[in-house]
Amino acid sequence: MKGVPLSGLAMTKIPLSKISLEDLLPHRDNMMLVNEVLEVDQRHAVTICRVDTFWPMADKTGVSSLILVELAAQTAGVCNGWDRIQTKGLDSEKMGWLVGIKKAEFFIDFLPFGTAVLSLAENIYNFSNLREVSCLQHVDNTLIGSMTLQLFQA
């Protein structure tokens, strides 16, 4: 399109079916803990993460509930990765976010292998390269974690 600057073009929304987890998150190998994205838009994401033997902090029977912080951060990353792709394109830079824990409550101590954790992360504050994210986590409709994270991207 001659004469129209690229910044003036509206981005065509890329459907989730055309986006992989690797497109959304910078995590790889044993640090990719999200198994499935159920919902995503620029404001929120819902993911399923199944506890596995290769996860950090795994012992013989499962994983400490502290892993819920990483599950929340990755679910927030799915949302913010989606936003990046929709505004900057699929081939845009996949930089990670520094995560701070503002508040965290854990209602269980341990996650057995095979447990499916449903995580809902929602951006409650969004300004430039700073986000505040609220996250709730459930197993079988039971709340197991609630936290507020602060994300910063350099």
Q: Are 106 and 145 in contact (CB under 8 A)?
A: yes
Compute the distance between CA of residue 83 and CA of residue 18 in angstroms, rounded to an integer. 14
Of the two residues 126 and 44, the one the predictor is more confident about is 44
135 domain residue, yes or no = yes
Check pLDDT > 70 for residue 10.
no
Check pLDDT > 50 for residue 4.
no
State the chain's mean pLDDT as an integer: 88
Compute the distance between CA of residue 54 and CA of residue 117 in angstroms, rounded to an integer. 16
DSSP letters, 8-56, are GSPPPPPPGGG--HHHH-S--GGG----EEEEE-SSEEEEEEE--TTST
Q: Residue 68's CB: how many other CB atoms inside 10 A?
A: 25
Q: Residues 26-35: what's their mean pLDDT?
A: 86
Q: Residues 69-74: what's their mean pLDDT?
A: 96
Check pLDDT > 70 for residue 140.
yes
Confidence of residue 125 (pLDDT cuts 50, 70, 90): very high
- The total number of structural domains in the chain stands at 1
In the numeric block, which tokens belong to residue 26?
A: 């910078």
Q: Which domain holds residue 87?
A: 26-152
89 domain residue, yes or no = yes
13 domain residue, yes or no = no
Q: Are 33 and 79 in contact (CB under 8 A)?
A: no
CATH of the domain at 143: 3.10.129.10
Compute the distance between CA of residue 11 and CA of residue 78 in angstroms, rounded to an integer. 19
Check pLDDT > 70 for residue 8.
no
**pTM over cut 0.75:** yes
Compute the distance between CA of residue 139 and CA of residue 56 in angstroms, rounded to an integer. 19
Check pLDDT > 50 for residue 118.
yes
Residue holding tokens 């409709």? 141
Check pLDDT > 90 for residue 1.
no
* The predicted structure's pLDDT at residue 12: 64
In the numeric block, which tokens belong to residue 10?
A: 């509206």
Confidence of residue 121 (pLDDT cuts 50, 70, 90): very high
137 domain residue, yes or no = yes
Least confident of 51-55, 86-90, 97-101: 86-90
In the numeric block, which tokens belong to residue 101?
A: 């824990």
